[in-house]
Amino acid sequence: MSILFNKFEVRIRLAAIRANYRLLCGHGGRVIGVIKADAYGHGLCEVARALAQEGCDTFAIGSVEEGVALRQFLRQEGITARVIALLGPVDAEDYAPLWEHEIIPFVGSFRQLETLAGQAARMGKALPVSLKFDTGMARLGFTGADVPRLLERLREAPLVRPVMASSHLATADDPGAVEFVLEQGRRFEDIVSALAQGGYPVEANLANSAGILAHKKLHHQSQRGGIALYGANPFAGTSWEHLGKGLAQAMEVRTKIVSVHPLKKGQSISYGATYRAERDMTVAIVAAGYADAYSRGLSGKGAQMLIGGRRVPQIGRVCMQLCACDVSEVPDARPGDWAVLLGGEGPLAISADELASWWGTISYEVFCLLGMNRRVFI
Ligand SMILES: *Cc1c(COP(=O)(O)O)cnc(C)c1O
């Protein structure tokens, strides 16, 4: 694979993640650190350790396999923390590790519940679980209407121990969708009270990063913070942008310049000859391409990089391991110099949302994809 054998350096500022965690904790309640997908590309183990140092005692990962990897790391480090698997068990192989590695699965279907109950009974060992409810995402979870039958089945399966109830907000980052958020909040409240009345007074959590920052009323005993930990503003480009103030982006991505040479007026550059020089210019060929997760979709979208402390435009099609920039304004650019694709120093730093807007995606995907390159922790 080209990734990991390229000139990329993904620099992760763990101090920024720790500060972002403290900022989220300042909004009240327990903050569960969402570190699924390799901590959104920031490094599962390193981020877990940094958050644990800030007092984080509960981590949410995606698959059970990720949970196993995290638990092995936590044991090695002597860190005691709860590990929650947001996807829950997907296939037969996912069940036994829940007990062996003390993973709390999200359980959102009767099928999962029956399988867990059967396994618990065979082993004679209880398992703490988080009950997952669908209040508007229509993705995973029991619905409010399932609650009576759920309570019945839980009573028949005493080794399946609900310790938590969760649901996920679909529109918490959208100032124009408050009504939808509040409706999800009401549905979740009803479910949590029904569980309590049914004898299951569990720790509830609903809010994601945007919910933590914008919807205090939807806070419960705990919240699940993801993207804000990594310093992207969930409200970027909206009228609520100020609510993400103080978050610090933890990821910076840079790579090397391979060549610097002139491009004469009228000459085209890269595949398809889609870009033609309107004046004599100087171009830098940079070691970044779609094989490094610097998407070909960025071609011709006005994307920028930082070279020699200046913003320079990417030009022509992005190739597999190369792309071009106009460095006419950076006379001292040389092969071997750094080109910054994400982050950087000072007011010219490229935010994940800015890169995402050129890319036609969101900060989450920018982090997950670029984060697959070689990382350095600073
Ligand atoms: C990813 C995820 C989160 C975190 O969401 P952010 O928007 O990144 O804060 C919370 N809950 C669930 C169920 C998730 O899958």
- 36, 40, 95, 230: the catalytic one is 36
Q: pLDDT-derived band of residue 1, with 50, 70 and 90 as boundaries?
A: very low
The pTM (predicted TM-score) of the whole model is: 0.97
Answer whether 227 contacts ligand 1 (Cβ < 6 A). Answer: yes
Rounded Cα–Cα distance for residues 326 and 184 (Å) = 48
Residues 310 and 330 in one domain: yes
User: 193: domain range?
Assistant: 13-244
List, for residues 89-127, the tens digit of each pLDDT value: 999 999 999 999 999 999 999 999 999 999 999 999 999
Q: Which two tokens stand for residue 188?
A: 């979740």
Q: pLDDT-derived band of residue 328, with 50, 70 and 90 as boundaries?
A: very high
Q: Dihedral (C-alpha) 189, 194, 196, 197: value to the nearest 10 degrees?
A: 140
In order, the DSSP letters of 346-378 are GGGPBPHHHHHHHHTS-HHHHHHHHTTS-EEE-
Answer whether 299 contacts ligand 1 (Cβ < 6 A). Answer: no
Nearest CA to ligand 1 atom 13: 168
Residues 326 and 213 in one domain: no
Tally the residues of the chain: 378
Percentage of the chain with pLDDT > 70? 99
Answer whether 224 contacts ligand 1 (Cβ < 6 A). Answer: yes
What spacing in Å lies between the alpha carbon of 27 and ligand 1's midpoint?
17
Which atom of ligand 1 lies nearest, measured to the CA of 166?
Answer: 13
Question: Is 271 part of the annotated catalytic residue set?
Answer: yes
Residue 7, in any domain of the structure: no
List, for residues 194-244, the tens digit of each pLDDT value: 999 999 999 999 999 999 999 999 999 999 999 999 999 999 999 999 999
Q: How far apart are the first and last CA of the chain?
A: 25
What spacing in Å lies between the alpha carbon of 281 and ligand 1's midpoint?
45
Residues 94 and 51 in one domain: yes
Residues 230 and 268 in one domain: no
Residues 280 and 326 in one domain: yes
Answer whether 108 contacts ligand 1 (Cβ < 6 A). Answer: no
Amino acid 4: pLDDT: 76
Q: Which two tokens stand for residue 58?
A: 């509960």
Amino acid 2: pLDDT: 59
List, for residues 61-73, the tens digit of each pLDDT value: 999 999 999 999 9
List, for residues 128-167, the tens digit of each pLDDT value: 999 999 999 999 999 999 999 999 999 999 999 999 999 9
Split into its structural domains, the chain has a count of 2
CB atoms under 10 Å from CB of 54, counted, come to 16
Residue 296, in any domain of the structure: yes
Residue 287, in any domain of the structure: yes
Question: What CATH number corresponds to the domain at position 169?
Answer: 3.20.20.10
